[in-house]
Structures are given as C-alpha cells and as structure tokens.
Structure 1
Amino acid sequence: MMVADTPTTLAEWQALAATLDFETRAFVNGEFVPAMDGSTLTSINPATGETLAQVASCDAPDAEKAIQAARAAFEEGSWSRSDPGKRKQVLLRLADLVDANRHELALLDTLDMGKPISSALGDLSGTIACLRYQAECIDKLYGEVAPTGDGALGLVLHEPIGVVAAIVPWNFPMMMTSWKIAPALAAGNSVILKPSEKSPLSALRLAQLAQEAGIPKGVFQVLPGYGHTVGKALALSMQVDCVAFTGSTAVGKQLMQYAGQSNLKRVFMECGGKSPNIVFADCQHLDAVARSAAEAIFHNQGEVCTAGSRLLVENSIREDFVARVIKAAEQMQPGNPLDPDSFMGAMVDEAQFKRVLDYIRQGVSEGATLKLGGEASNSKGYFLPPTIFDDVTPEMTIGREEIFGPVLSVFGFDTEEQAIGLANDSNYGLAAGVWSQDIDRIMRVSRRLQSGQVYVNNWSGIDQTVPFGGVKQSGNGRDKSLHAQEKYCEVKTVWVSLNI
C-alpha cells in the first residue's frame, strides 16, 4: 500500500484499515512459509476484542531452519563481505519503502496492539530515521591504526559478529525493530527477528519490504511465535552469536541464563524502567511542565519502558502542581485508536489490562491517595483512563514495580538530596527527568542520577544521534547513534611485523 495523503479522520482510517491484507506466515530463507508443525497464534484487536488473523506460531524446528539459513548466508558473504556502499544503498532503499508504506505499517500496529494511529505514525517516523541514519553510518565508520614503532603495523578492524537474534516487544513494534535490525544489518550480520506474539503483523510486512529492497535470502528472517518456544530456541542455539532484546527484566535475565547454558553469546538488552521525573520549585511555566509530566506517563497508554511513572515534586509546590497534572490528564482520556484525535488507545490485551487493574487496587489497599481514574472505561475493548496516585512512598508496590500502564505515582520531597535519594531508590535506571531553572542544580542532579539518559526540562527529547539504554536492571548496551553498530561488531587486532 503506497503512501498518499495522510488520512485525517476516523472514517478515513477505518476505510483504509478495511483494505488491509495481512501476511501471516513466517519469513524463512527468502520465502513465506507456515510454521513447520502448522501451529498458529491469534492476533486480537484490543480495541474491539475481535480476531484480526491467525499467525504462524514458530517453534524450535523453525528456529533451527532459520539459523541454518542465516549462518549459510553469513558464511557465503554476499552481505557480510559486501562493499559497505552496497549495504548502504539496500538499507536506504528499505527506508524508502517503509516511508512509502508508512500508513499501512502504522495501521498494522494500531490494529494489532491498540496504540493511537497518531502515535503509530510517530513511531514510523522514528523507524525511517533509524534505518536511514544507520545506513549512512556504514561507509563512515573507520578502523584504527595503532601507535607502533617502525618495525610493526597494528590494525584494529571491526567485523560483523555473525548471526543476530533480535527479540522485540509489542509496545513500539516497528520502532524497536528498527533499533535492532538497522545497526545489525548495517554491520554485515544476518538477522533473525522474533516479534512479540502480541504484535507480529508489521514485522511480517517489513519482511516483504526487505525482500523488495534487495536484502539477500537468509540475511533477514522473521519468526513469529512465543518467547518460551521460538525465542528460547534462538537464545539457546550454539549458532546464534548475539541476542538483542527489548522487554521485561525477568525475561532479560532468562536470556542471559540461556547464553551461559549455550555458547556465551552476547546478550544486549533494554529492559524495564521505573523512571523518576523530578520537578523543583524553581521550575517555570508550570502548566506546560504539568502537561509534559502527564504525557510522560500516559503516552501510549503508559506502555512505555521510559514512562515517567514516578513524579517527584518539591513539597512547596506539590499540591498546586498535582492539580495542574490532573487537569492535563483529564484531557487525555482513551478513545478509538483509529481516531487521529485520540491521545490514548487500548491496552494491548486482556492480560495486561487486568494486570494494571490489580496494581491500581493494590495502590489503594497500601494507602496511596487515588486522585484520578482507577476504573476501567465502560466500553468494548481494553481501555483504562489516566490514573494518578498521590502520597506514594518507596515501600509501596506501585512506587517500586513497573506497571506498564497509565498509572502515575506522586512522591513529595523537601531537599535536593532527598530528591536524588528517591530517584535512585530503584532497581531500574533507564530514564530520568529534571525540571529546574538553576543550571548548577541541573548539572549536580544530572550527574548523580543513576540512569542511562537524563532529560532536562523535557521528557524523552532525543534523536538518532545519541545512544539509548539503561543501567542497573534496566539493561546494558546501547541502541541508536554510532554506538549501536559497535555491539554488533567484533574488534580484531592485526599485528604486522615489518622487519622480516
């Protein structure tokens, strides 16, 4: 479906959705095929509860077939040893095809996991930017010449690792996929993509576009299925050299165990978060900051690893500021995901819907003050409104665990030291925000926050030029920027004696 003018109304998006033809088969060694045992999984539209499609559900035999194809393609060298300029042109062609089909890809993610169409379109912009950025990096990354004496020449080379298994989540299906596959392919690796069983449709359409772009067979493959079946098989394989993962911390720990049980493959992961968003009393433009604080948690229904789920507010402005956040959140009620005016859509499925409701009940039972929301919408589908708790303490479950839903926990503090202590009192360290007009305070606090990225007077203001990733139990390695290709390369030393 080639791009035309972007639809601007609910009716136009609904009409476009009615024309979609879903690819439901796995993509293995250049062909679309059913799972070897014929198994399927059901793709559900969470906004309606209706079935979208029956998608191939791959298992260990499918993984083995894809791994063999990936290894053969890597050893054959049509991609791994090709001229950097050739890989660049193919990936740029893929970026152009994604751009030309962005309406269809956005629709697939909206239908498959419930995100608003406006958000899905934003994800596609990020996807296209990532593909183009990593493609342009290919012929601009140089090796090194070591400082040696006259009798030797020391070379430092960067070579592709081999076979990369990319296991991606359901909350940003296309964007998270691009963050993994773009640098891995750019570096010359063969990539096997395992999309979430909750959002596989856009990945399978991407496989069609990758084939059209000219990526050789076996170099890029897509295996839909469950983590405990095909995902586990990829992670345990002796022929997979690297696993790149975004998802929960619990699953990330399992993948590290599988790496240890097999070939000590590299495991790069971006896991959970419980990100603090710190507002100091000297902050200006409180209405705008309050809206940003609400967007930081309620965007994408709170199903965001970097969600600003812990709002830390200086007590002298806390009552007033929380009132402003509530006012902003009241304008962010969930609506039809295909409506361009909907800020929030549906939760991804019933299990996640019930999980978040359980956290809300636990917050009430542990003594937090429910200020907004807390109950499911009385509509068909899995919709939850913005929910805000005040008087949260670090001991409360909602203040410590990643909820992955539209639930904000508000903490108060009196001093800068208290704010830093509260912010760092977490197993996670993915993102943090600081709002202040005091540049000295900004630099002090930013340096002391245990976080992979710190947003100052904004939330999530980043692009392709800077790395993304976490510390502590939020993971390791970095997506985006030049640093992303580093993790998909081996560093080789070649020492040449010049005296023989």
Structure 2
Amino acid sequence: MNQSRADIPRGTALMTSLRASWIDGRTVDGGGSAMAHRNPANDADLGDTETADVRIVDLAVSSARRCFEHSWGLLSPYDRKKLLLVYANLIDEHAEELTLLEMLEVGRPGTDAAGLNASAGDILRSYALKIDTVNGDMFRSEERRMGVVLRRARGVVGAIVPWNVPVMNVLLRVAPALAAGNTIVVKASELCPRTTLLLARLAMEAGLPDGAFNVVIGEGPVAGARLAEHPDLNLVAFTGSSVTGHAVARAAASTSFKPVLLECGGKSPQVVLDDAFDDERIWPLLFFSAFWNTGQWCVAKTRLLIPRGREQQAIDGLIAAARDWQVGDPADASTRLGPIASRAQLARVQGYYTAASATGELVDLDCPRGITDSSGYYVSPSIVTGLPRGSVLQTEEVFGPLMTVELFDDLDDAIALANDTAFGLSASVWTARSDHGYKLARNIRAGGVSIFSSVDAARSTGPELGTARYFEPQKESGLGVDGGEHGYLAYTTPQSLYFHN
C-alpha cells in the first residue's frame, strides 16, 4: 500500500507515544537528556525522545538476564517458535505504521518502504522455522559411550543497529537472537528510535515475556558504549561504520571475553566486462545497485569498474537510467529517491561532492525532481570520472548517491582495482564468460560476490535480505557470519557432552 501525505498526521500521533526506552515490557522515563529529531524531507521538528544513561542501560541488561534465566530461556523450542510466528503476523498487520515511521524519521520513500516492510515478518518466520531444523550433533556412538554437541543459547545479546533501513536492520538482529533462545537489548539508532520501540511493543503484544526484547534510546558514546562493554552480555552484534565497529570491539573485550558480530562499512565494486555492454538494459540494474535508498545501504555498489574506452557509453547509459528515478518527497508515490537521512549525514555527503569536483569530473545524472521542500536534505545522484587511482572517493564509504567510474585494462587490472580498498563486503561481476566471471569472483576479496551472466539472469532472480544465504564480511567490513543457518548458529554456543556407560 502506498503511503501519502494524508497518512502523516497518523504517523506523527504515533510518534508522540514512543519517546523513551522500553525495558521489562514498559516505558522507562528519565536517565539522560532530551534528544531532538528532525524530518529530513523538510527539517520539521519531530519532537524529542528521552536518552538513556548508564543506569538505564544497566536496567535493560538486568531485565534481559532475568527473562532469559526465568522465562524465555526456559521455553520449549515449540513454544518459542509459536510465539515468534505470532509476532511475525503482528508485524505484517502493522506494516503501515512502521512504514510511516521510516518516512518521518529517515526520509525513506513510502512506496519503497511499504514494499520492503510487507515482507518484514518473513525474516522472523525464516528464523523461527530454523528452530526445528538446527539441532545438536552426535559425534560418536558406541556400545559403552556416546558423544553429542548441544547448541545452547548464548544468553543476553546486545545489538547496536543503524538507521538506513530501520525495520529490516532491527529484525536481522532480533530474529536470530530470539529464535536461538536468547533475550536481547537493542540500542536504537539516534535517528529512528521510534521504529525500534514499536517493534518491541509488538513483541510484547505477541506474547513474548517482559524483558525478552528491550530497547534503549541514546547516543553511541553513552548508551552504545555502555551496552558494548557491559560485563553481563554474552554477545554483541553491531551494524554500522567501520570506525564505530572498532570501538565496539574494543569495548566488548574490555570487561569480558564475549564474541562480537560486526557488519561494517562497504565500498563495493560492480565489474562490467566488454561483453556485458551489448545489452542496454543493464544500466537500470547498475543504477539500482548503487543508488537505491539514496545510496544509503552498506552493500551499495558505488564503484563502477569498466574497460578503458567504455567511459562515455557508461555515462550515457546511467543518465538514461536516471530518468526513471524521481527525487522527491517521501510521501509522494512517484518518489523513488528521498532525502539524505540527517543534516549531519548531508554535510558529510556534500563534502565528498566537493572533493569530487576538485579531483575529477562530477556529472549530475539529472534525475527528475518531484515536489521537494527547500529545507529538506536533498542531493542529486551523481557520478565522478577521471579520478586518480587511490582517491578517497574510490576508497572511502560515502553512504550517499555518488558513484565513481573507474577504468581497467584487463582482468588482472580489474581484480587489483576492485581490491584497492580497505573494505570487503560485497561485489558483482557482469559477464557471459564463465571463466572470466569465476576468476574475478574467486580473486575479489568480498564476503559476497554475485556473478550475472546476462540481464535476463539478473532480472529472473531477486535480491535477498540475508535470511536465505549467509556470508562473512572481509577486511574492514566486519567479522562473523550473518544470515541463514550459519547466522542463526552465531547466536548459539556449542557444548560437548560425552556419556560413558
């Protein structure tokens, strides 16, 4: 269902009831100072939320510990699965409210957010169904002895989540943690705490016990730092920048030996070989891979690597593709690209645009502009060409709608260029030559590489959100397995039992 301006008052009314941390099944006021929020589409005041201080974070962890030891952690797998499936259905029923909050808090286009959130409940269902299939292992069975490995819940999980795709990013941490039998404390993003609070309230409505899903609101240096270092956590899961990821890992190790899951920054390449240029339908797909969500997603393929001599063809193709991507008000059903999510992020992105003009040629892709407020945080999707190799624009994550176009001479040069970054999250390769595709994929250091033999092949398969596959980021992009069965197992710990009879 499309969201419209008529829905905004309903979303605003909803926000007024979501203002403070959620602990032990209730709102907990006080602790820190008020935190202001602005609508990125028009810079309008969205009201304050109450930040959590160290004491509030400690209360949340204590609540999660009690719930794990006396309630959620004692439930049978069957009962745990049943409650999570009820929770998934409730998320489906409240998808419109979640979408409204995303529009208001971070400026996600309503039509796009509604389409994505319509399947948000499936993340919970995917992990809930793994409860029946992921069990322990028998490693030795003889007449007088037998060995088994149990998969036990770790206990209390702390999750620090980002702002770019609020509903999905919360559920990608909460779903496997709860399915595996853990309780969780989520440090909500400063930009979109209300989305996380609503998800926690829905969990309570679904029948999950008080303390199974707690939320603290606050800034990273206070609430996030205390959660990461907390000695009573059994796992810390973080999604965000690599700089903050390092800080989280140091904090986690400072008080106890607890594992961390880190999905951090990316600077992902899409390598297009000569044979893929013959199909002009490729350009809308390459545009989507870089500019969806206004370039604010960790696996955005914002580096276009192409053979030397194909530069003008690429520019023309991307300009043509941009005609179908209207920049505008998130409440307009025609909008496909919204504003940058915050004023601070806007300033950061504009700094990279300035650097692009100084070191290369900045090309505005001339996306159509719909209705926009002059006070909104809008930028024009653009590409930059003619950069010297090793430029910060080729190696640093912009997290905005700016793509670099980089030229290579042969396959080995393409591999070297693709790997010339501190990140290793994702990549894509476009070629009908399986030998070339395999060589590139095997040598590009990234957690996940997609090899597209044709445009038709790319269109016939859809993007996945991490529930059916798994990967581990490389280099500065993170640590630990996310997604699928292996991602579920990351929220458990193996215990070996050996019976001697």
TM-score by length of 1: 0.94
Query: 1:326-380 deviations in whole A, cap 9, x for unaligned?
Result: 22124424200111211110111111101111111112222x1112269998822
1:159 to 137, 143, 152: 152
**Residue in 1 that maps onto 2:61:** 67
Residue 59 of structure 1 and its aligned partner are, at CA, apart by: 1.4
**Whole-angstrom CA distance in 1 between matches of 2:278 and 2:90:** 42
SS state at 2:221 partner? helix
SS state at 1:283 partner? helix
**Whole-angstrom CA distance in 1 between matches of 2:119 and 2:483:** 11
**Residue in 2 that maps onto 1:472:** 475
**Whole-angstrom CA distance in 1 between matches of 2:356 and 2:257:** 41
**Residue in 1 that maps onto 2:265:** 272
| 1:239-318 map, 5 Å | 239-283=232-276, 286-318=279-311
CA shift in 2, pair 1:401/1:374, >3 Å: farther
**Whole-angstrom CA distance in 1 between matches of 2:23 and 2:14:** 23
SS state at 1:24 partner? coil
**Whole-angstrom CA distance in 2 between matches of 1:284 and 1:163:** 50
**Residue in 2 that maps onto 1:44:** 38
Query: 1:298-324 deviations in whole A, cap 9, x for unaligned?
Result: 111111111111100112433212211
SS state at 2:479 partner? coil
**Whole-angstrom CA distance in 2 between matches of 1:394 and 1:331:** 31
**Whole-angstrom CA distance in 2 between matches of 1:351 and 1:416:** 39
Query: 1:9-49 deviations in whole A, cap 9, x for unaligned?
Result: x3444465465353112111111121334x22112111111
Matched residues, number: 489
Query: 1:77-98 deviations in whole A, cap 9, x for unaligned?
Result: x211211011111111111001
**Residue in 2 that maps onto 1:3:** none
2:183 to 181, 185, 190: 190
**Whole-angstrom CA distance in 2 between matches of 1:390 and 1:442:** 25
Query: 1:242-267 deviations in whole A, cap 9, x for unaligned?
Result: 11010000000001111221102111
**Whole-angstrom CA distance in 2 between matches of 1:354 and 1:346:** 12
Query: 1:142-195 deviations in whole A, cap 9, x for unaligned?
Result: 211113543311010000101100110000111011110100000110100111
Tell me the amino acid that sits aligned with residue 434 of structure 2. Answer: I
SS state at 1:80 partner? helix
**Residue in 2 that maps onto 1:146:** 139
2:406 to 408, 411, 416: 411
**Whole-angstrom CA distance in 2 between matches of 1:413 and 1:157:** 50
SS state at 1:388 partner? strand
2:19 to 5, 17, 24: 24
2:385 pairs with 1:390: yes
**Residue in 2 that maps onto 1:100:** 93
SS state at 2:362 partner? strand
**Whole-angstrom CA distance in 1 between matches of 2:207 and 2:270:** 44
Query: 1:211-255 deviations in whole A, cap 9, x for unaligned?
Result: 100111111101111111111111111101111010000000001
| 1:352-431 map, 5 Å | 352-366=345-359, 368-372=360-364, 379-431=374-426
1:440 to 419, 428, 435: 435
**Residue in 2 that maps onto 1:133:** 126
- State which drifts further: 470-479 or 345-354: 470-479
Q: Is the 8 A contact 2:311 2:405 kept in 1?
A: no
**Any stretches of 5+ residues in structure 1 without a counterpart?**
1-5
Query: 1:375-418 deviations in whole A, cap 9, x for unaligned?
Result: 99882210011011112233211111001100000001121111
2:463 pairs with 1:461: yes
CA RMSD of aligned residues (A): 2.0
Tell me the amino acid that sits aligned with residue 174 of structure 2. Answer: I
Tell me the amino acid that sits aligned with residue 485 of structure 1. Answer: Y
**Whole-angstrom CA distance in 1 between matches of 2:31 and 2:276:** 59
Identity %: 33
**Residue in 2 that maps onto 1:86:** 79
Tell me the amino acid that sits aligned with residue 146 of structure 1. Answer: F
Residue 114 of structure 1 and its aligned partner are, at CA, apart by: 0.8
CA shift in 2, pair 1:468/1:44, >3 Å: farther
2:58 pairs with 1:55: no
Tell me the amino acid that sits aligned with residue 407 of structure 1. Answer: L
Q: Is the 8 A contact 1:123 1:172 kept in 2?
A: no
SS state at 2:463 partner? coil
Tell me the amino acid that sits aligned with residue 32 of structure 1. Answer: T
CA shift in 2, pair 1:190/1:14, >3 Å: closer
**Whole-angstrom CA distance in 1 between matches of 2:205 and 2:220:** 28
Query: 1:85-112 deviations in whole A, cap 9, x for unaligned?
Result: 1111111111100100101101101110
**Whole-angstrom CA distance in 2 between matches of 1:62 and 1:285:** 59
**Whole-angstrom CA distance in 2 between matches of 1:149 and 1:80:** 32
**Whole-angstrom CA distance in 1 between matches of 2:260 and 2:469:** 21
- State which drifts further: 27-36 or 193-202: 27-36
Q: Is the 8 A contact 1:165 1:240 kept in 2?
A: yes
Residue 284 of structure 1 and its aligned partner are, at CA, apart by: 5.3
Q: Is the 8 A contact 1:330 1:386 kept in 2?
A: no
**Any stretches of 5+ residues in structure 2 without a counterpart?**
453-457
Tell me the amino acid that sits aligned with residue 451 of structure 1. Answer: A
Tell me the amino acid that sits aligned with residue 497 of structure 1. Answer: H
